[in-house]
Amino acid sequence: MSIAAAVREQSPAPAGANEAIVAWVDEIAAITSPDEVVWCDGSQSEWDALAQSMVESGTLTQLNPEHRPHSFLARSDPSDVARVEARTFICSETPEEAGPTNNWRDPAEMRSTLDGLFQGCMTGRTMYVMPFSMGPLGSPLSKFGVQITDSPYVVISMAVMTRMGSAALELIGDDTEWVRAIHSVGSPLKPGQVDVAWPCNETKYISHFPDTREIWSFGSAYGGNALLAKKSFALRIASVIARDEGWLAEHMLIIKVTNPRGRVFHLAAAFPSACGKTNLAMMKATIPGWKIETIGDDIAWLGKGADGRLRAINPEAGFFGVAPGTGFGTNATAMETIWGNTVFTNVALTDTGDVWWEGMTDTPPEHVIDWQGNDWTPESGRLAAHPNARFTVAARQCPSISDDWEDPEGVVIDAIIFGGRRATNVPLVLEARDWEHGVYLGATISSERTAAAEGTLGELRRDPFAMLPFCGYNMADHWAHWLSVGADLGDSVPRIFQVNWFRKGTDGRFLWPGFGENSRVIAWILDRVDGAVAATDSAIGLLPAKGALNIDGLDVTDADMDELFAIDKALWLTETDSTETFFDTFDGRVPAGVTKQLETLRKNLS
């Protein structure tokens, strides 16, 4: 009997499971040789049993239920704390298909490397099979996947972040498409070998095969490296499916906004990692009469609905949010969401068994155990929580979750926003003249690097559409695809805007208070859509007319307001040169509509 057959006898697939999935599971088990195969049903009892076993093995610490009921803390290996972009690969047939912004590898070569790495990599561990749906179960816009993993931490995270388990498996019929996702921490155990709290491997490969819609991830258990439904499937593979099928998979939050006149809008916004999506998705408006409700905080799938309008769904079921900087003063809704039933990763543990991180409270506790398990006091001179520490929590637990967040048809998008972290140049808000200009704004997003990925903090880099690490095909083709989606929508295209909450004065301080006060900018944007306020044209696009942006009661000086909207033509011209250099890296693939916008901008500036 083959190992696979023996394993399968030990843990039979659920009755009625799709034969192709069963065969694939056997095939992967034969390569990876786990001790056991478990098909996840997604039940609460399964979740609780896994969490309990990880408490016993030391992977999780249960928090004090008086402060944080049914919640857990995980401390990762200090070398496994963020997405590894340099180890993330797109294995399309040719390098041109992946484009200059991706790490391309020859698919055959990558397969042979992975064959070696995955051989026996689950020895001594349990292999979990997780069928899941991205998007509401049964929605025509949803897509299925099956992830295999040898990490129980990944299982409990995926159970929160996706609709995972038996219900998804039952919906995968013979003709249903599903994405194959294989994940291993890459740390086999010899007989009798004691496991570590956070198994992983120095060698890491996050590999994508767009042509066969497959993902192979080795060596990391952290976030987007390991929860393969998220960036790997819902963005990298889905962006390729979307290109082929005529829709869009984007790194965007979705909100519902109601104005004081009772008109309801929906808005999708793309910001690079750790640049404020969760914050805007859960924002409490500071101006009277405006109400913001949450639909998604990280990923949006958008496409033309039966009514001819652009509609969007949030394919996820939970939030994997940045903890540092989240407090009652900055994002009270997030704080209310994580009251319990939350898994925290790489935050600090207080002496009373609760969590803490920089920015959670104004005054730090006198003593905590830091994210690496060491004593910490405010005098320690280092951070108590890792800057990319995260909370994992179900979306339904969010008090501002919108009643239409699981609408199977998606919500109609009235406006699209692009943003980034820019100390200079980019004004607080800007409206694109038309769809093509909006695509140019998306294509030219630059942002200062954050801790969400490995790399030099603060360095300004190009992050087109906030998709630099997430587009599964040539970025220039992605822009062309946006142009064609716009052309297809015709007169019903949503308007496009650009925002920047992060502009700094010459003294290095943020010019704009941000957070809840961003509702003032959202109000201007939606008043524009409603035809209620004026804009003035400028070299770079449409700016709020004098007095159109509501700053009543806001403590920002006139000088700072002027600086927030200042256009330094010389700096902008330098930026157009850098944009041209960037476009040149695409070897003539940048669509004419986008290069034309660059020429227009140059003409306007000189």
**What amino acid positions are annotated as catalytic residues?**
275
Q: Does 328 bind ligand GTP (CB under 6 A)?
A: no
How many whole angstroms separate alpha carbon 223 and alpha carbon 391? Answer: 10
Of residues 75, 87, 231, 481, which one binds ligand SPV by CB under 6 A?
A: 231
How many whole angstroms separate alpha carbon 478 and alpha carbon 202? Answer: 33
DSSP 229: I
Looking at the Cβ atoms of 273 and 392, the one nearer to ligand GTP is: 273
Q: Does the CA dihedral 16-18-22-25 come out positive or negative?
A: negative
Looking at the Cβ atoms of 161 and 292, the one nearer to ligand SPV is: 161
Size of the residue set binding ligand GTP (CB under 6 A): 22
Q: Does 494 bind ligand SPV (CB under 6 A)?
A: no
Within 440-469, which residues bind ligand GTP (CB under 6 A)?
452
- Which residues touch 336 (CB under 8 Å, ≥6 apart)? 398, 399
Q: HSE of 398 in the Cβ direction (CA atoms, 13 Å)?
A: 34
Considering only 223-231, 259-267, 405-413, 531-539, which stretch makes contact with ligand SPV by CB under 6 A? 223-231
Q: Which among Mn ion, ligand SPV, ligand GTP, none contacts residue 230 (Cβ within 5 to 8 A by kind)?
A: ligand SPV
How many whole angstroms separate alpha carbon 92 and alpha carbon 223? Answer: 24
Classify 195 as helix, strand or coil.
Answer: coil
CB atoms inside a 10 Å sphere around CB 255 = 25
Q: Which among Mn ion, ligand SPV, ligand GTP, none contacts residue 515 (Cβ within 5 to 8 A by kind)?
A: ligand GTP
Task: Indicate the helix (H) or strand (E) that contains 148.
Answer: strand 143-149
Edge to edge, the sheet with strand 60-62 lists: 60-62, 72-74, 343-345, 390-394, 318-322
Of residues 131, 219, 224, 472, which one binds ligand SPV by CB under 6 A?
A: 224
Within 482-511, which residues bind ligand GTP (CB under 6 A)?
501-502, 510
Shortest approach of ligand SPV to residue 248 CB, angstroms? 17
Q: Does 230 bind ligand SPV (CB under 6 A)?
A: yes
Of residues 88, 162, 279, 314, which one binds ligand GTP by CB under 6 A?
A: 279
- Which residues touch 151 (CB under 8 Å, ≥6 apart)? 128, 183, 185, 199, 221, 226
Shortest approach of Mn ion to residue 231 CB, angstroms? 7
Q: Does 278 bind ligand GTP (CB under 6 A)?
A: yes
Q: Does 442 bind ligand SPV (CB under 6 A)?
A: no
Within 217-276, which residues bind Mn ion (CB under 5 A)?
273
**Tokens representing 365?**
């506790």
Of residues 147, 151, 239, 273, which one binds ligand SPV by CB under 6 A?
A: 273
Looking at the Cβ atoms of 275 and 441, the one nearer to ligand GTP is: 275
Q: Does 320 bind ligand SPV (CB under 6 A)?
A: yes
Q: Does the CA dihedral 155-160-163-168 come out positive or negative?
A: positive
Q: Does 436 bind Mn ion (CB under 5 A)?
A: no
SS (H, E, C) 352-386: CCCEECCCCCCCCCCCEECCCCCEECHHHCCCCCC
Considering only 41-49, 201-209, 222-230, 587-595, which stretch makes contact with ligand SPV by CB under 6 A? 222-230
The string over 56-84, giving b where at least 16 C-beta atoms fall within 10 Å of a residue's C-beta and e elsewhere, is: eeebbbebeeeebeebbbbbbbeebbbbb
Q: Does 298 bind Mn ion (CB under 5 A)?
A: yes
Q: Does 102 bind ligand GTP (CB under 6 A)?
A: no
Looking at the Cβ atoms of 204 and 422, the one nearer to ligand GTP is: 422
Shortest approach of ligand GTP to residue 273 CB, angstroms? 3
Total residues found in the chain within this entry? 606
CB atoms inside a 10 Å sphere around CB 585 = 14
Q: Which among ligand GTP, Mn ion, ligand SPV, none contacts residue 514 (Cβ within 5 to 8 A by kind)?
A: ligand GTP
Q: Which among ligand GTP, ligand SPV, Mn ion, none contacts residue 518 (Cβ within 5 to 8 A by kind)?
A: ligand GTP
Q: Are 271 and 500 in contact (CB under 8 A)?
A: no
Pattern 288-317, binding to ligand GTP, x per CB under 6 A? Answer: ---------xx-------------------
How many whole angstroms separate alpha carbon 56 and alpha carbon 149? Answer: 20
Looking at the Cβ atoms of 264 and 423, the one nearer to ligand GTP is: 423
Shortest approach of ligand SPV to residue 231 CB, angstroms? 5
Q: Which among ligand GTP, ligand SPV, Mn ion, none contacts residue 501 (Cβ within 5 to 8 A by kind)?
A: ligand GTP
Q: Which among ligand GTP, Mn ion, ligand SPV, none contacts residue 579 (Cβ within 5 to 8 A by kind)?
A: none
How many whole angstroms separate alpha carbon 426 and alpha carbon 602? Answer: 16
Q: Does the CA dihedral 33-36-39-41 come out positive or negative?
A: negative
How many whole angstroms separate alpha carbon 515 and alpha carbon 531? Answer: 25
Q: Does 273 bind ligand GTP (CB under 6 A)?
A: yes
**Tokens representing 122?**
């689950």
Q: Does 311 bind ligand SPV (CB under 6 A)?
A: no
Report the interface residues with ligand GTP, using CB under 6 A: 271, 273-279, 297-298, 321-322, 324-325, 330, 452, 501-502, 510, 514-515, 518
> What are the residues binding ligand SPV (CB under 6 A)?
83, 223-224, 230-231, 273, 298, 320, 452
